[in-house]
Amino acid sequence: MRQTSTDCNSSPKPSANGLVGWVVESPGRGTLGIITSCLTTIFLCTWVVIHARVCKRPLFHGLHKFVLFLKTILAPEFIAVEGLQEWSQAQKMVRNCMGLTGGRLKLVHAFYIGMLALRYRTPQGQKVIWPNQYTWLLEQGLVDWDNHTTWGLSEENIRDKSNADSAVKLLALGQVCWFMAQSIMRQVHGLPLCQLETMTLSYIPLIAITYFFWWVKPKDVMTPSVVDLPEMSAEHTETFESLAVSNIFDNEGEAKQDSFWTIFSLTPEYLRRKPKIKPQ
């Protein structure tokens, strides 16, 4: 960490390479204060922005969220790209369903379905209804949007399940604004920033971009909406099941579904893939 005499008169003198050791707290600033401020800002930025998918078990949900937290810390640009992918997928679903729902399927509904929060019952357990599957049900007239509340897709129900904490968001916003203002003032007065402060500043624009894309996405939804599929012919059932993008997120007791490795499976990787529809 580079040190100037304007920061603290009692600070150790810099070495020949301009670096100093641990600096105690003083009327200027000390090493502990810098570390605490930077780590607090990074933690609040990264933890608040995480919007994990719905997992079948609370333990899996917590572990998946922790994996996303580590990913955000190590590579925040990947989270920004992930946010863009999910936003694009949700926008695509809204456009595809525009004429089928009279424009009443909104971005929050698309995000909710895209985060694997809509599932249907089977004799073996529950299976995920993917966005393309729900769109297909609407196209075939097997599902009517007028009955979306019975499927747990009302905005009130979704927002009630969302655990977004406004107080934590305000705390994160306040910390970020204070940190940025302090950094700007130091530059204005010709005072240097240490490497940790510069790294912390680099997180802020990426996290802001990610949060923009996830602004309406429900946060920390713990329980999915479970429904019964309408009666379908054998051909319709085969087509519907062929539209499933993956079955590792289902809850039918298979080994790969119960494996802890599923917490590393990131939803956008599956949303990008085009499933093959079996010919009729």
Domain boundaries, the chain: 31-248
| Span 61-80, pLDDT tens digits | 888 888 888 888 988 888 88
pTM of the model: 0.81
User: C-alpha distances in angstroms, 205 versus 61, 180, 212, 244?
Assistant: 27, 11, 11, 35
d(CA 193, CA 225): 49
Please say if the pLDDT value at position 191 is more than 90: no
Smallest CA-to-CA distance from 210 within 92, 94, 45 is with 45
- What is the pLDDT, as a whole number, of residue 268? 47
| Span 240-274, pLDDT tens digits | 999 998 888 888 888 888 787 777 775 544 454 44
Compute the C-alpha angle 125/108/127, nearest 5°. Answer: 10
